[in-house]
């Protein structure tokens, strides 16, 4: 298994957690430096023409792309421990929570969008930061409201089992930290994230623990 | 089954196609007028605190949210015809293609983002349109490259079976039409979209065929 990732990429972080939870160690981890724009170079374009991370090649391919799709693939091919509950409504809730992060928040703060804000719209740094924080906050508000008011919330987002919703929640909170967004108003989110981070599979997947990462952002 | 939707919402369009393909007729369709900002009113906030469409209540709930999660729920609870292939790699490709649309493109042009561009960033109309078209084009380019170069592409995105990838592809092309984005450079996308639109389940789900829709956008 060949895993294309970058320390700072929150979508790579998701897949790294899933790999750790499943006990899968990729044969090779290819560093694609997003800060240097290496995702746009020919070598990676051949892997993933969308020029985004992560990508995963399992055996003879084809290349797998999009973090949520990769996590579901890993869950289907390595069922233990499961990352989704069994019951359809519970699965829908878990996927919905994950998608609040992966569809409605994270895509608004990825490198290509930040670069567009800077180089096409010529927004200054405080305005760009405000934009990013706005969408981080909108998702955290939606997540907190759901988690705090649902009987299904337990030790984790969905009962007492770790799911892809927890993985996405942790990456959302980590992104909030990157952009100095205060998560104090989201106690349920914080509680679940803290619980997750006590798990070694989450802790050692953290961006700042990856090769090439700085001591802090 | 109670379906909360709006004619113009591309995410509602996705679920509407899935319902049609499955032969499911909701008991009630609740119109949530995004143009009038009705998604932010108390009545809908109680249904979906994230204030986005669509939402679906099946039986005694809880409320289902996020279009991809809802489509997978419908596929799990109403398996025929299937909207995902059986083989894990094929499922991952279908989900990945769907997520290029639902994660990386559509969230950048939804009402809340368009409103932010206008009212917070004070961008003029041509600049806002350019922003929207940029992300529509980026996703179409990624989709075309994948579809045109993959042996797995057939009559539809994944072989000859309609999947959630086709549903998302159709909504992406429809969004391109809304924003006058020329899809001529994407012949494989166009071919598959045209094939889908010959299917009544897709055709009658089209935004402009819904109650309250104008004759054109």
Residues of B in contact with A78 (CB under 8 A): none
Residues of B in contact with A100 (CB under 8 A): 50, 66
A55: nearest CA partner in chain B: B96
The pLDDT value recorded for residue A61 is: 84
Rounded to a whole number of angstroms, the distance from the CA of B26 to the nearest CA of chain A is 17
Residues of B in contact with A149 (CB under 8 A): 49
The mean per-residue pLDDT over the stretch B149-164 comes to 98
Q: Domain map of chain B by residue range?
A: 2-81, 88-203
A62/B150 touch (CB, cutoff 8 Å), yes or no: yes
**The CATH number of the domain covering residues in A88-203:** 1.20.1050.10
Rounded to a whole number of angstroms, the distance from the CA of B177 to the nearest CA of chain A is 22
Angstrom distance (rounded) from CA A127 to CA A117: 9
Mean pLDDT by 10 residues, chain A (217 residues): 97 98 98 94 94 96 96 98 98 98 96 97 98 98 97 98 98 98 98 98 98 92
A95/B68 touch (CB, cutoff 8 Å), yes or no: yes
User: For residue B151, is pLDDT > 90?
Assistant: yes
The pLDDT value recorded for residue A217 is: 87
pTM of the model: 0.97
H helix runs in chain B, sequence order: 10-22, 42-47, 67-77, 88-102, 111-115, 125-149, 164-178, 187-197, 200-203
Residues of B in contact with A131 (CB under 8 A): 116, 120-121
Q: What is the ipTM of this complex?
A: 0.97
> Residue B4: enclosing H or E segment and its boundaries?
strand B2-5
The pLDDT value recorded for residue B61 is: 84
Residues of A in contact with B93 (CB under 8 A): 62, 64, 69
- Per-residue model confidence as pLDDT tens digits over B76-131: 999 999 999 999 999 999 999 999 999 999 999 999 999 999 999 999 999 999 99
The residue among A52, A57, A71, A103 with the most chain B CBs within 10 A of its CB, best to mutate, is: A103
Closest partner CB to B93 (pick from A62, A116, A138): A62
Taking one residue from A and the other from B, the number of pairs with CB-CB distance under 8 angstroms is: 132
Residues of B in contact with A91 (CB under 8 A): 72-73, 76
User: For residue B217, is pLDDT > 90?
Assistant: no
Rounded to a whole number of angstroms, the distance from the CA of A51 to the nearest CA of chain B is 9
Residues of A in contact with B69 (CB under 8 A): 92-93, 95-96, 98-99
Cis peptide before A35 (omega within 30 of 0): no
Residues of A in contact with B76 (CB under 8 A): 88, 91
The residue among A18, A53, A66, A114 with the most chain B CBs within 10 A of its CB, best to mutate, is: A66
Bridge partners of A161, per DSSP, are A158
Which of A10, A113, A175 shows the shortest CA–CA distance to B113? A113
The pLDDT value recorded for residue B117 is: 98
Rounded to a whole number of angstroms, the distance from the CA of B198 to the nearest CA of chain A is 28
B73/A65 touch (CB, cutoff 8 Å), yes or no: no
B62/A89 touch (CB, cutoff 8 Å), yes or no: yes
B121/A131 touch (CB, cutoff 8 Å), yes or no: yes
pLDDT mean across residues, chain B: 97
When pLDDT is cut at 50, 70 and 90, the band that residue B56 belongs to is very high
Quickly name the fold that domain B2-81 has: Glutaredoxin (3.40.30)
């Amino acid at each position: 298994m060949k895993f294309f990732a970058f320390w700072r990429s929150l979508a790579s972080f998701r897949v790294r957690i899933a790999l750790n939870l499943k006990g899968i160690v990729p044969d090779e981890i290819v560093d694609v430096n997003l800060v240097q724009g290496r995702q746009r170079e020919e070598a990676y374009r051949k892997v993933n023409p969308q020029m985004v991370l992560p990508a995963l090649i399992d055996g003879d391919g084809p290349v797998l792309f999009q973090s949520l799709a990769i996590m579901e693939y890993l869950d289907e091919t390595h069922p233990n421990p499961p990352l989704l509950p069994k019951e359809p409504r519970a699965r829908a809730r878990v996927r919905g929570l994950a998608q609040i992060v992966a569809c409605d928040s994270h895509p608004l703060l990825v490198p290509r969008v930040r670069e567009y804000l800077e180089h096409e719209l010529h927004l200054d740094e405080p305005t760009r930061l405000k934009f990013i924080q706005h969408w981080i906050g909108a998702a955290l508000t939606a997540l907190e409201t759901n988690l705090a008011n649902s009987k299904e919330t337990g030790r984790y987002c969905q009962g007492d089992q770790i799911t892809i919703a927890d993985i996405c929640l942790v990456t959302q909170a980590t992104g909030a930290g990157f952009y100095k967004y205060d998560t104090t108003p989201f106690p349920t989110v914080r509680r679940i994230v803290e619980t997750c981070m006590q798990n070694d599979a989450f802790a050692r997947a953290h961006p700042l623990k990856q090769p090439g990462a700085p001591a802090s952002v």
